[in-house]
Structure 1
Amino acid sequence: MNRLYTFLKQKDSRSTLSRSWSVSWPMILIMFFEFLIGLTDIFIAGRIGKEVQATYGFAVQLYFIFIILANALTVGTVSVVSRLFTSGNKDELYRAIFSSTIAATIAGAILTIGGLFLTKVLINLLNIPEELKPMAAPMMRIYAAGLMFHYVLINSNGILRSCNRIKSSLRTMALVCGINIALNFFFLWNTSLGFNGIALATASSVSIGSLVNLTHLKKVTEGGSLCFPIIKKMLHIGWPIGLLQALWQLSSMALFLILSSLPKNKIEILAAFSTGLRIESAIYLPAFAFNLANAVIMGNLIGEEKREEAFRSGIVTALIGVMIITGMVITVILNARWIVSFLSENGLVIEEAKKYLYISMLGEPIMAWGIILAGGLNGAGDTKSVLLRVALSVWLVRIPLCYFFVILLGFGAVSVWWTMNLSQLVQAFLISKRYLNRRWLQERI
C-alpha cells in the first residue's frame, strides 16, 4: 500500500489515471446499454405477467450458457490482440484478428444449430416449474437463432477495444440498444408475438450490430489469414474463463432450482429474483466494464514491456471502479421501492425484490474490487488462477450453503441472499491475494 500511495503522488500517476479512465468510460456506457436492454426485457415480461417474468429469468440463464464459448474466445482474443497492437507486429495482428473472427463465426453457427434442436431437451431435464415450460421452449429457440451473430458481435467488440477503437464499439452497442428497445415495444403493442417478442428483439438487434462491427474490421480482416496456432493460443488463454462462466451460469441455475424448492410463493420469489438480478446488473455491468477495461490496459502495457506500470494501473482502475460502484449502491438502496415498483405490479414480487436488493447491495463494492482485479489477471493471461478462485467461492461456499439453508434447514430466500454476499467476500479476498503477490506479472503467453 505504501508503494501505491507513493505512486499516486508521482507526476506520471495522472497519465495512468487518464489511460484507465479513457478505456473505462466507454465500457461503462456499453454496459449501461446492456443494462437498458435487460431492464426493458424484464419490464416487458412483467407487463405480460409474473409467469413470463419467471420464464424470462430461466431463459436468460440458459442463453448465457450458450454464449460462454464466445466470451472465452474473446478473453483470449483481447489478451493476444491487445499485446500485438502495442508491439508493432502488424502482420501477426491482422492474422490474429482474422483468425479470431472466423473462429467466432464457426463456433456461433454450430451452437445455433445445437440450440435450435436441443433447447426442448435441456428444458425438460431442468426442474423448471411445469407451468413455465411451454413458454421457455419457444423463447429459447428464438434466442438460439441469433447465437451466431451474437458470437461475432461479442468477439468483434473485444477486437475493437483491444485496438484502441473502443468508441466504434460504443457506437455499435448504442445502435443495438436502440433497436432492441424499439423492437421490444413494437412487438408488444403491434403484434401477437407476446413473450416471444422479447427474444426476437434481442436476436434481431445483435444480428444488425454484428454486421456493423464487421464493417469496422473490414480492412484488417482483408489483410489477414487463418492461423490455427493463434486460435489455439487464444483458446488456451480463454478456456479457463469459459469453464468459469459455465460454472457461474450453472450456479445461477442451481440457485433458481433451489428457490424453486421453496414450499410457498416460489413463483413470486423467482420473479423477484429475476427482477432483482436485472436491477443489480446496473451495478454489476459497470464493474464488469472496468474488468474488461483492465484486461485491455494490462495487455497493452505488457505488450510495451511496462509490467510495473501495468500492475499499478490495475490497482488504480479497481479503485476508480469501487468508488463509482459505491455511489451507485447508495442510489439503488435509497430508491429500491420505486425501482422495483416500476418493473413489477405484483405486491409480493415487489416486497421480495426489495429484500434482495437491500441485502445484495451491501456486498457490491467488495464484488467490484475482486472482479476488476480479475480483469487485470485475465489481460495478463493468468486466467487459470481466476477460474480456481471464483469456482472455489461459488461451489464450495455459495451453492452448498444455499442448499443447506433452504433444502435441509427449511430457511427462506433471505438466507440465499446473505450467502451470496459471503461468497463475494471470499472471492474478492482470494483474487486480491493472487494479484498482490505479483508472480503473474512474469508469466509469458
Structure 2
Amino acid sequence: MKKDISNRKLTLFALTWPIFIELFLHMLMGNADTLMLSQYSDDSVAAVGVANQILNLIIVMFGFIATGTTILIAQSLGANQKKEAIEISYMSIAANFISGLFIGIIVFLSSNQILKMMDLPIELIPDGSIYLKIVGGLSVVQALIMTIGAVIRSYGFTRDTMYVTIGMNIINVIGNYLFIFGPFGFPVLGVQGVAISTVVSRVIGLIVITLILVKRVDLSLRLKKLFTVPIYHLKNLLKIGIPSAGEHLSYNTSQMVITFFVTMLGAEALTTKVYAQNLMMFIFLFSMAISQGTQILIGHHIGARDYDSAYKRCMRSLYFAIALSIGMGIVFSFFSEQLFSIFTDSQSIISVGSILILLTIILEPGRAFNMVIINSLRAAGDVKFPVYVGILSMWGVGVPIAYYFGIHLGYGLVGVWLSFIADEWLRGILMYFRWKSKVWVNKGFVHAKSQASIEKRKTSLQA
C-alpha cells in the first residue's frame, strides 16, 4: 500500500540522515575509484579526475530539472495538490530522459576534443577519453536516477534512495576490484574497467529505483503519460531549474578554468588537487545533507504559506551546518598526513595536501552558508539572486585570485585555495543578508487551492 505524504510528519533529522548516508556513499563511490586506481597508476587518477570534472558539468545539466522537481513537488505537497505533484514527476522524468540521450551522444562523439580543450597532458588523454566515452556516453542512466531520486525524496522517502545508493556502491567496488586487480582470471582493464563498473552499477540502480518509484508514488511509467503532461509544468521546472543550473554551471566552469591553471603547475599538482578535493568532499558532506533536507522542508512550508517556520528552519540549519563543517575540518586537518597516505606515498603530495586541508577549516564554513541558504532561497522560489551573485563572485573574485596568487605570484595550490576561500565567503555573506531580508516571501510557484488545505498542511509539518 502506498504511503500518503500528507499524513507523515517531516523532520530535518528524518530527512537528512538518509540523505547524508546517500551522499556519503556517492562520494565513497568516487573515492573508491580514485583509491583503487591509485594502486594502478597516479596518471590514471589525474586523467579520471579531469574527466570527472567534465562529467560533473554534465550532471549540472541534469540537475537543473532535478532541482526544479524537488522544489515544485515539495511546494505542491505542502499545498495538498497531489495531482500537480504527480504531473510534475512525469514531466521531469521525460525532460531528463531526452536531455540525457542528447548529451550522451555529444560526449561520446567528442571526448578527445573536450579533453584537449581542458589541456590534459597528451599522455593522459587515452585514459580520460575511454572513461568519458563509457560513463559520459551513457549519461541518460544518471539523468534518470537523479530525477527519479528527486521525486522520491520530495515525498519524504529519503531512506529508499539511500538503500539504492548502498547497492550501487557495493556493485561498483566489486567491479573495480575485478577489473583493476584481475582476480579469478578477469582481465586487468584499469580505467576502462572502472568506467564499465560505474555504468553497470548505475544501470542496476536505475532498475531498482524505478521499481521503488512505482511502489511509493501513485505513478505508472507509461510512455503515453510521460509526454501528455500539461506543458506549464515544464515552464515552471525551467523557471526554477535554469537559474539554478546557471549558478551550478558558473561554478563548474570556473572550476574547470582553475583546473586549467593547475595543469600549468604540472601533473603532480593536478594529482594533489584531486586527492585534496576528494577528502574535502567528506568535510562538506554534512552541510550538503543538511541543505538538501532543509530544502525539502522549506518547500513544504512555502507550499503551506508558513513563512515564519521556513525562515526559522533555514537559520537553525545554517548554524548547525557551520558548527559541523568547522569540527570536521579540524579533525581532517589533524589526520591529514595519514589520510593522504591512503592514496599515495609521495611526500611532496602529502605535504602540500596537508596545507590545503588546514586551509579548509576556513573554507568550509563559507561553503556551509552557500549550501544551506541557496537551497533555502530556491525552495522559496527566489532562484535568480544566487545566480547573479555567483557569477559575479566566481568570475570576478575566484578565478582572478586563483591565477594571480597561484600562477603569477607562484603560491601554487595554496594560492588556488585562497581563491576558493574568498569566493565562498563573499557569496555566503551576501546570501545570508538576502535570507534575512525576507525578499523571498511570496515567490513560491505553487498556489494552494483552498485556505483549508493550507491550514491542514501547517498542522502536519514539524520544523
Return the letter of the residue paired with 1:170: M
Distance 1:286 1:181, change over 3 A: farther
The answer to whether structure 1 residue 253 and structure 2 residue 256 are counterparts is yes
The answer to whether structure 1 residue 241 and structure 2 residue 239 are counterparts is no
The answer to whether structure 1 residue 150 and structure 2 residue 142 are counterparts is yes
Displacement, 1:320? Answer: 2.0
Please name the residue that 1:412 is paired with: 412
What TM-score do the two structures reach when normalised by structure 1?
0.92
Percent of aligned positions with the same letter in both sequences? 21
Please name the residue that 1:74 is paired with: 66
Please name the residue that 2:158 is paired with: 166
SS in 2 for 1:316: helix
SS in 2 for 1:131: helix
Please name the residue that 1:369 is paired with: 369
Displacement, 1:432? Answer: 0.6
CA contact (8 A) 1:272 1:353 kept: yes
Displacement, 1:18? Answer: 7.7
Return the letter of the residue paired with 1:194: G
Return the letter of the residue paired with 1:180: N
* Cα displacement string for residues 58-106 of structure 1 (whole angstroms, at most 9, x for unaligned residues): 0110111112121111111111111112222222221111111111111
CA contact (8 A) 1:398 1:420 kept: yes
CA contact (8 A) 1:97 1:220 kept: no
Return the letter of the residue paired with 1:84: S
Please name the residue that 2:220 is paired with: 222
SS in 2 for 1:220: coil
CA contact (8 A) 2:337 2:354 kept: yes
Which deviates the most, 372-381 or 217-226? 217-226
Q: 2-side partners of 1:326 and 1:50: how far apart?
A: 30
Please name the residue that 1:428 is paired with: 428
Please name the residue that 2:204 is paired with: 208
Please name the residue that 1:37 is paired with: 29
Please name the residue that 1:319 is paired with: 319
Q: 1-side partners of 2:110 and 2:58: how far apart?
A: 11
Please name the residue that 2:106 is paired with: 114
Which deviates the most, 295-304 or 315-324? 315-324
Which deviates the most, 176-185 or 296-305? 176-185
Q: 2-side partners of 1:20 and 1:434: how far apart?
A: 22
Structure 1 unaligned residues grouped into runs of 5+: 1-16
Please name the residue that 1:13 is paired with: none
Q: 1-side partners of 2:372 and 2:86: how far apart?
A: 28
Please name the residue that 1:28 is paired with: 20
Return the letter of the residue paired with 1:210: L
**Structure 1 vs Structure 2 CA RMSD:** 1.7
CA contact (8 A) 1:146 1:207 kept: no
CA contact (8 A) 2:46 2:270 kept: yes
* Cα displacement string for residues 386-441 of structure 1 (whole angstroms, at most 9, x for unaligned residues): 11222222111110111122343343221111221121111111111111100112
Please name the residue that 1:133 is paired with: 125
Please name the residue that 1:379 is paired with: 379
CA contact (8 A) 2:10 2:156 kept: no
Please name the residue that 1:347 is paired with: 347
Structure 1 stretches (4+) deviating beyond 4 angstroms? none
* Cα displacement string for residues 350-381 of structure 1 (whole angstroms, at most 9, x for unaligned residues): 22221221112322122112211111111112
* Cα displacement string for residues 194-228 of structure 1 (whole angstroms, at most 9, x for unaligned residues): 12222222222122112211112225332865232
Distance 1:303 1:388, change over 3 A: same
Q: 1-side partners of 2:98 and 2:276: how far apart?
A: 35
Please name the residue that 2:456 is paired with: none
What TM-score do the two structures reach when normalised by structure 2?
0.88
* Cα displacement string for residues 226-249 of structure 1 (whole angstroms, at most 9, x for unaligned residues): 232101210111111212222111
Aligned residues: 426
Q: 2-side partners of 1:411 and 1:352: how far apart?
A: 11
Please name the residue that 1:391 is paired with: 391
Return the letter of the residue paired with 1:197: G
SS in 1 for 2:411: coil
Q: 1-side partners of 2:429 and 2:81: how far apart?
A: 38
Q: 2-side partners of 1:227 and 1:215: how far apart?
A: 25
CA contact (8 A) 1:51 1:132 kept: yes
Please name the residue that 1:5 is paired with: none
CA contact (8 A) 1:146 1:204 kept: no
Q: 2-side partners of 1:356 and 1:270: how far apart?
A: 13
Please name the residue that 1:440 is paired with: 440
Q: 1-side partners of 2:340 and 2:153: how far apart?
A: 34
Q: 1-side partners of 2:271 and 2:212: how far apart?
A: 39
SS in 1 for 2:188: coil
Q: 1-side partners of 2:347 and 2:435: how far apart?
A: 44
Return the letter of the residue paired with 2:419: T
Q: 1-side partners of 2:78 and 2:419: how far apart?
A: 43
Distance 1:36 1:342, change over 3 A: same
CA contact (8 A) 2:19 2:289 kept: yes
Please name the residue that 2:452 is paired with: none
